[in-house]
Amino acid sequence: MARCFKRRARGATRDPMAASIPVTRHPRRPPPPMVSLRLPHPCLPILLSLSTPPLAEVRADRVSLVLHTAYHAANSPWGVRAWRWHIMADGKRAGTISLRDGHSHVFTHLLGHIGFAVDAPFRGQGLAGLAVLALLPEAARLGLDTVWITTTPDNAACRRTLERIGCTFVEAVPIPPWYATYGKGERTKLRYRLAAGSESHPGRRNE
């Protein structure tokens, strides 16, 4: 009895048979991989586009776009990531075009993703349409696959520009009283959709 007590005190097993069973040490299992490399994570394209810097210059047929400002959401006039380019024609600044990376109702229904203006002396050459088409691959590269462009029913030049470059007219929507241009008398927005990227657009004007 005294001998048995002594063995236990030294940490020996209670089962004398167990002591004779050899202990097999298994090699340590490798940890599971943190990320599956077979399929890219669905967020990867978004994360990559968020870190994609804009091109300083986009060259296209008859126009080029020279980056004027790249906004972070914090310093953007629209509260979202955005960019503004000069529209250049024959080496001269002819207007401006903006791209806004917003996805709320304001961007899809009221303000749109793209806004543009051509300075009065340069109008009549279809430069706005050319600038929008030039911007599309860059918009796709920056993460916008579909862009919404809006205008008002009385803006015939803008409507014609959008139709000419192959935008799809989707609908007319009421402007809510809380929206800034309501106070200026605007009541209706026309929503046009355009696929970004390098697909061909039926109305693309290359002459």
Ligand X SMILES: CC(C)(COP(=O)(O)OP(=O)(O)OC[C@H]1O[C@@H](n2cnc3c(N)ncnc32)[C@H](O)[C@@H]1OP(=O)(O)O)[C@@H](O)C(=O)NCCC(=O)NCCS
Of residues 148, 151, 175, 192, which one binds ligand X by CB under 6 A? Answer: 151
The order of strands in the sheet holding 82-89 is: 57-59, 64-71, 82-89, 92-100, 114-118
CB of 67 to ligand X, least distance (A): 19
Of residues 14, 156, 184, 207, which one binds ligand X by CB under 6 A? Answer: 156
Counting contacts by CB under 6 A, is residue 111 touching ligand X? no
CA dist., res. 124 & res. 118, Å (int): 9
CB of 87 to ligand X, least distance (A): 9
Nearest to 189 by CA among 157, 161, 149: 149
CB of 131 to ligand X, least distance (A): 8
CB of 60 to ligand X, least distance (A): 14
SS3 for 38-75 is CCCCCCHHHHHHHCCCCCCEEECCCCEEEEEEEECHHH
Of residues 126, 137, 143, 203, which one binds ligand X by CB under 6 A? Answer: 126
Residue type, 57: E
Cβ nearer to ligand X, comparing 37 with 120? 120
Asked if 86 and 58 count as a contact pair (C-beta separation under 8 A), the reply is no
Of residues 104, 155, 168, 181, which one binds ligand X by CB under 6 A? Answer: 155
Of residues 64, 98, 108, 161, which one binds ligand X by CB under 6 A? Answer: 161
Asked if 150 and 109 count as a contact pair (C-beta separation under 8 A), the reply is yes
CB of 84 to ligand X, least distance (A): 14
CB of 32 to ligand X, least distance (A): 53
Question: In sequence order, what are the residues at sequence separation of 6 or more whose Cβ sits closer than 8 angstroms to the Cβ of residue 40?
Answer: none
Of residues 160, 171, 183, 199, which one binds ligand X by CB under 6 A? Answer: 160
Q: Within the chain, how many helices (H) and strands (E) appear? A: 5, 8
Give contact residues for ligand X (rule: CB under 6 A). 116-118, 123-129, 151, 155-158, 160-161, 164
